[in-house]
Amino acid sequence: MRNMEDMQVIIEQEFIEIVRDQLDQRNWSRAELARQMGTDGAYVSRYLSGKIAPGPDVIERFFRAFGLKPHLSYTKQEEALSVG
């Protein structure tokens, strides 16, 4: 199912972008994030490099370390205009 694969890629990209933004805002290293999560830097790096796709439980764990609540939002896709 191509749409589900596309959605997973979008989720992964958004996740990585949000985590990197939060690291920058807090001036945290990946090691500091790992410490806040109670894990090691390799765990954090695997997800931020895109080697492993985060599931909902992983996303929640990262967000919890930042004191954030994950939520889903959307934007309405504009319909293509047909010229005729």
> Does this model's pTM top 0.75?
yes
Residue 39: CA count within 13 A, CB half-sphere = 15
Contacts of 23 by beta carbon, 8 Å cutoff, 6+ apart = 29, 30, 33
User: For 38, left (φ over 0), alpha (ψ -120 to 50), or beta?
Assistant: left
Residue 42: CA count within 13 A, CB half-sphere = 0
Q: What is the mean pLDDT of the chain?
A: 87
State which H helix or E strand residue 62 sits in: helix 56-66
pLDDT tens digits for 31-60? 999 999 999 999 999 999 989 999 999 999
Residue 24 pLDDT more than 70?
yes
Comparing 82 with 65, the larger pLDDT belongs to 65
